[in-house]
């Protein structure tokens, strides 16, 4: 288990590397299907990095004015965590401005929503990063409800139908898309991704100095 300080430092370091390098490292480690589907795209902000806190729900008609389970689930999130919203919803909003503000008060650093979001103007104004599958003005109350949290969930995948996300996995998303790093591989993936990032920096500098791409690849290797 990592301490709170270690989790914060790992998140800071991951935020400095790109998803492409992380995906390449995962390929090398025999985990080729950790990329998230391109339909999970940024709707607020451009990058997020954090430890997975999972929330699952489903379409379930109901009466009443709220979702007590959703509120209870949100109370458990902590610093440096990303809220991962999954389930079988369609056409309705799982996540909006007020939930985001409540989560941020608890230290949450973003959300990945395999479903709908709304209040995009305000999410952007607050600077809260969100990657989501679709946008909609239609609320979830009476239509969709939280059924569990902090248990394994499934998000749509890039090279496989689904990516399984466990609480405590690491999630990174940027302009290229999203990727899930299994908890047991976090430190190995981070170290290798940092090394790959440093190599790319050296290649870019050499290209600016006038070396050809072939010369750079001969010197630094393929990336």
Confidence at residue 22, expressed as pLDDT on a 0 to 100 scale: 98
Confidence at residue 157, expressed as pLDDT on a 0 to 100 scale: 98
> What is the span of the domain harbouring residue 80?
4-183
Q: Give kind and range of the element (H or E) at residue 87.
A: strand 81-87
**Average pLDDT rounded to a whole number, residues 133-138:** 97
Q: Say if 46 falls within a structural domain.
A: yes
Residue 57's CATH number: 3.50.30.40
Q: Say if 132 falls within a structural domain.
A: yes
Is 119 annotated in some ligand binding site? Answer: yes
pLDDT above 80 (res 66): no
Q: Say if 219 falls within a structural domain.
A: no
Q: Say if 11 falls within a structural domain.
A: yes
pLDDT above 70 (res 197): yes
Q: How many CB atoms lie within 10 A of CB 219?
A: 11
Is 9 annotated in some ligand binding site? Answer: no
**Average pLDDT rounded to a whole number, residues 188-192:** 98
Is 98 annotated in some ligand binding site? Answer: yes
Confidence at residue 215, expressed as pLDDT on a 0 to 100 scale: 73
Percent of the chain with pLDDT over 70: 95
| Rounded CA separation 86/201 (Å) | 36
Residue 214: left (phi > 0), alpha (psi -120 to 50), or beta? alpha
Q: Say if 170 falls within a structural domain.
A: yes
**Average pLDDT rounded to a whole number, residues 26-30:** 97
Q: How many CB atoms lie within 10 A of CB 188?
A: 13
| Rounded CA separation 125/107 (Å) | 18
Q: What is the mean pLDDT of the chain?
A: 93
Is 36 annotated in some ligand binding site? Answer: no
Q: Say if 33 falls within a structural domain.
A: yes
The total number of structural domains that make up the chain: 1
Q: What does the block give as tokens for 135?
A: 């946008």
pTM of the model: 0.91
């Amino acid at each position: 288990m990592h301490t709170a300080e270690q989790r914060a430092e790992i998140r800071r370091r991951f935020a400095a590397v790109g998803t492409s390098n992380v995906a390449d490292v995962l390929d090398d480690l025999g985990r080729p299907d950790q990329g998230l589907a391109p339909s999970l795209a940024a709707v607020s902000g451009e990058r997020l990095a954090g430890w997975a806190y999972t929330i699952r729900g489903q379409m379930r008609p109901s009466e009443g004015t709220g979702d007590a389970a959703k509120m209870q689930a949100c109370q458990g999130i902590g610093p440096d965590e990303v809220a991962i919203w999954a389930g079988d919803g369609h056409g309705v909003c799982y996540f909006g401005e007020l939930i985001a503000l409540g989560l941020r008060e608890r230290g949450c650093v973003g959300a990945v929503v395999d479903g709908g979001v709304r209040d995009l103007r305000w999410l952007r104004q607050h600077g809260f990063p969100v990657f989501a599958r679709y946008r909609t003005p239609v609320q979830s109350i009476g239509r969709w409800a939280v059924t569990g949290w902090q248990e394994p969930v499934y998000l749509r995948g890039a090279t496989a139908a689904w990516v399984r996300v466990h609480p405590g996995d690491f999630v990174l998303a940027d302009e290229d898309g999203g990727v899930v790093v299994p908890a047991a591989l976090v430190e190995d993936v981070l170290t290798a991704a940092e090394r790959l990032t440093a190599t790319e920096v050296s290649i870019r500098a050499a290209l600016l100095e006038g070396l050809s791409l072939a010369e750079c690849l001969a010197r630094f290797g393929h990336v």
